[in-house]
Every structure is written in C-alpha cells, then in structure tokens.
Structure 1
Amino acid sequence: MTPLPVFDGHNDLLLHLWRSGDHDGTAFFNGREGHIDLPRARQGGLAGGFFATWVPNPETMPDPQGADVPVIPPLAHDRACRIATQMMGILTRMARARPDAIRICLTAAEIETARNAGAIAAIMHLEGCEAIGEGLDELHLFHAAGLRSLGPVWSRDTIFGHGVPFRFGHSPDTGPGLTDAGKRLVRECDRLGILIDLSHLNEAGFWDVARISQRPLVATHSNVHAICPTTRNLTDRQLDAIRDSGGVVGLNFAVSFLREDGRKDAATGLDIMVRHLAHLVDRLGEDGVALGSDFDGAEVPQDIGSAAGLPVLFEAMRKAGFDEPLIRRIAWDNWLGLIGRSIG
C-alpha cells in the first residue's frame, strides 16, 4: 500500500551531515542512524519538508528537552555565517547530485512537480538568524541560493530578537520583543517572499511579527501550551491569531513538548499527539494544522521512531475519529496551501 504523502515542517538532517563531515549527503542516500534518510523517507511517505540550517553553540550545551535550561549564550556572527553557508551548501550539493531523490523547491508548484517525479521537495530554512548581519546582506545572498523560510531566533538571543529559554511550567512571555533590526528583517522577508517562522520566538516577538507582517503567521514546529505548559508551545491566544491570519502550525513530535509533565520519555504514547492535533484543529480549523516533526532534532515517540513510522501516526488519528480528508490536509495539503499563500 502506497503511504500517504507527507510534507514536514521541520527537520535537522543538515546539522548531522555537517557534524559528520558528510558534505555530499552520502549517508542520507544510503542509510544512516537518526530519523531521516532516503530509504526510510520513501518507506514512510515523507515527500517534502523544511530542511533547517541551525548553527550549534561551540561549547557543549545542556539538553534542552525535559528540564529547565539556563540562558544559552549568543553566537558570533562570523562563525554562524560560515557554518550556515556550509550546511546550505550540503543541501545544494545533494540536490544537484541526485535530483531524482531530492530537490530544492521555491514554490508550491515546484513541490508538486518534485513529488510527481518521486523526489523529496526541500524548502531551505534558516533556524535562528545569527548568520545574517544587521545590514541584511546575507539575507539577500541566502535568498538567491534558495532560502524561503527563516526563524529570526532559535532559543537564544540574536540582534533581531529574543528566543524563549527552555522552561517547563512557564508561559512564552519571557522578555522583550523584536529589536529595530528584527522589525526590518520581518519587513524585508515579507518583500522577498520569505516565510517567518514563529517557533522559538518569545511571545512579545510573536506579537511584533503579527503586527508587522502582511503574510500568514506560521509556527513550523510548535505545540499546545494548554496541554504542555512549556515556553516552546503556543497559547490559545497565539493560536487564534494564527488562525485569523490564515496561518499554519506544524505539530512538533518532541515528547517533552507533548507530555503534560514535560518529561523526555520515548515511551510516550501517540494519544497525546492526537490530543494536541485535536486542540489545534479546534482552534485553527481544518486548514491550519500540519506536521513539524523536528526529526533529527528531538526525542520522538518510539512508536514512530523515524520517518518510516509516519503511517503509525495516521493510523492513530484514524482510530481517534479523524477522517481521511482531514488526515490528508494535515499530512500534505495544508503546508502546500500555506506555501502558496506565503512564498509563491
């Protein structure tokens, strides 16, 4: 049986390829440890997604999942720009070497073309804008290379705004909003057709983007604060604003952002994922909910395990009463509609 096609809001594959020195993506094509490679993507129906560039801190960081984490220090611009460029280069080399397997896409139409050809459709995403200077020159360079989505911050401060620290039992209202540079960044992304990702941005920054941007509000990999009260999740008021803008939220598979107790436990059942999805549908409507797995960047439920396990989630949704048209919207259609409205 052919698996349901999935467009996924977030993965960290490029970080792991970069760390291993695999700049040609050989392990992706042939099989690797972790959550995503080409064989398992095809097995589970993963046909596209946002491929993140995320630059790690040079020192060892505490694990952000399952416990409160002290403030994570900002990155130096020069280092961040060098590493981000290398990660984007990995994705570019992979797509040039194997267009039958993966393609960088700039529009919804290109995504559908890639899917019809059997290739994974990749949207290039920048998670945290430490690689971009205040003059935004790098933004234009990355846009020319294919960048069509970015988050102004990860969970650390940048010159553009303030990321939420990882805190359980706390609201996302953790500090001031966007800086003047951050507001210029949002306006320029609107002009260029680059999606602004609200995941990891604190609540004040969220509302700044909502006031400035003329495009739909998007959180590529976030969950429901009313179920799991961590700073990384969205309050109902934020969800309502995303709905009113015609935006989308992608369900994050990270167990510590799903569970009511915030624990990092791979034995977490899929019922909690279904609860988050049901709440998101209730607040956002059937066209506002998608998936944002955080594959290769988070501990996910062991019943899913990897991209190959995506059909297991859909079966859990069916058992909970989700009908086939809604499952297809969440799996593929809603991201494609949002990309068409936001990017082209």
Structure 2
Amino acid sequence: MATLSAARRVVIKIGSALLVDRTTGALRADWLLGLAQDVSWLKGLGIDVVLVSSGSIALGRGVLGLPPTTLALEQSQAAAAVGQIRLARAYEEVLAPHMITTAQVLVTLEDSADRRRYLNSRATMEQLLSLGVVPIVNENDTVATDEIRYGDNDRLAAQIAVTVGADQLILLSDVDGLYSANPSIDPTATRFDVIDTITAEIEAMAGDAGSGLSKGGMKTKVMAARTATAAGCTMAITEGSVLRPLTALENGANATWFTAQIDPASARKLWITAMKPRGSVTLDDGAVAALTRGKSLLPAGVRAVAGPFERGDAIAIQEPSGRVLGAGLSRYSSDEINLIKGRKSAEIEELLGYPARAALIHRDDMAV
C-alpha cells in the first residue's frame, strides 16, 4: 500500500464540505490551520504540493446572502467572484507562517482540452513548483459556462495531477473510501483498501450522491481514479474532516488506494507516442546526441521542418538520415520553426518579434 511520505509530487483535493461550515457559511479556520501544518510537513520532506480547492461559491454565497439552494449560473459566478478572493487570502494567511508561498491558478476545461493551453498551464505549474510555490487551483467559476466546465473538482484534481506529472493524488472527502455498497444503508458493506484495476463492477458500486455543498459523489471519484491511474498516478480517497487529515492518512487512517501500474513519466511518453504526428523536424548530429542524453530540443539543432502544424501538436523527430528518433509536443508552429531553426535560443525573441520559450520540444514532452 502506498504511503504519502513516499510521494515525489502530490495533488490534494479539498472539498467544500471540509472547508466551509454548512451552517454559518464561514471557513473552518481550525481545520485549515491543521491542513497548513500537513502541507508544511510534506514540503519539509521535499515533496511538491498542489492544492485543488473547492469553496469559493460556498464562501461567496454566504457573503452575498444567497439562499442555500441550487443557484442560477449567474448567481454561482457572482458568488465565486466574491468567494475566490477570500479563499486565496485564507490559504496565503495559513501557509505564510510556514514560509510557504502560494499562487492562485484558475482553470477551465478548455485549458486541458486545448493542447496549446495545456502546454501553457503545464509550463506555468512546473515553474511555480520548481520555485517551491504551492499552487492553489480551482475551476474558474466566474467565467466558465456548462460547455467549458469540469463540473466537479474530483475530475479537475485528476487532470491537474496528469498535467503536473504527480505520482499521488489524495481526495479529502466526507467518506473514508469506496465501499461495496452504501454503508449508511447496508450494514454488510465493506470498504476496499486497495483497488488495482477499475472494473465495470467497481464502477457500478460507486454511488452518485454528493454532500450538500459539493457537486461530486463517489462516481466522480472513481472517474478521477481512472484518469489518474492511467497517467501513472496512484490515488487515495480518505475521510478528511479530522484536523490533520494528511498526517492521519500517513498513520494508517481508513482509505481506498487506487494503484497505478506505471510511473507518470512513462505513462506520458506512451501518450505522446500514441498520437499521430502532424509534421516533423530533422535534427543535426549534435542535437541527436543531446536528446539521447535526456536533453530538450533547442532550435539550434534543427536542420529542416515539415508541416504544417501548430503549437501543441505532436510531431516526429528525425535523425539526419530521416530515421524517426521519437516524437514530441512542439512549443512552436512549423512557420515559427522555419524562422528560428539553426539559431541560438537568445536570438528567438528578435527573430519572432516576441518573447518565447528556449526549448522547441521540452524533454518532458518528448518520447525518444
């Protein structure tokens, strides 16, 4: 069974029902302080931490005096706008005493469905984590409509785990795992400690009821597990209302662990190689040698480009002989590469007329 302290990079999803008091609509300050202690503990172990937090609408509706019933879209967006700033400030205030810098990251479904936006999100998150920052991620409820919504933060958390290459995803919930039946109704229901394969039978056991403040039920959690484990990320569902929920999980608290059969880097490379290339770049011998040593591809090493393709598209990487060396996600369009091929990274801005990234294909977006 996995342990939290063994993670390299962990995404933690926090539900509204844990963060916001249902009766008063106020933040559970003592719980948030305990979570901050847990995050500090993980950071002290050298683990990268990303928090995917619900709560903006629940906080905002209380401030605006909106009813505790289903809100119209424009009411939800207004509540999110008011609540989001309070949510971000709350995280900043509880983590700052631990010398932890926070960042607010608001996303929509389009940011992962569109490969250009996906690459932008991935690069930004990677930079934040490399600087020791804890990103606080939430759906951008102030602008998201039904067509571009995740709709629940379980699946959002899974997508963020995929984006940042996390090896563990922890869903802090109001239940302590997946049961064979609803334990509040069926006294014979048993909890699964470990699930290695998500079968149709497992999916059928997942209920669909959410708590009063959250939109997700067990069904969305199992869907999140399918996404996460396919990308090499182990996932846990555990009861999060205790004051130090991550410490409790490390010490053996009840949970269901969904195991990944492959590591995130290998899963990502399999995903890239499964894409149909939209074009190709041909390299010089020096670039081929650099890539085989695990380096990123720089414009200086490109001799020729075949397209057309756009930023974010998968392209083939070819040796001077034309033999395919691998594939990767291009950070430039074919037209842009034609302008910068064979040139040094320091020249890119002058050639293109705008600032751009040094790598043409980053090593994390490449399968050689």
- Please report the TM-score for the alignment, with normalisation by the length of structure 2: 0.38
- Please report the TM-score for the alignment, with normalisation by the length of structure 1: 0.40
Q: Which one scores higher on RCO, CA 8 angstroms, separation ≥ 6?
A: 1
Higher strand share: 2
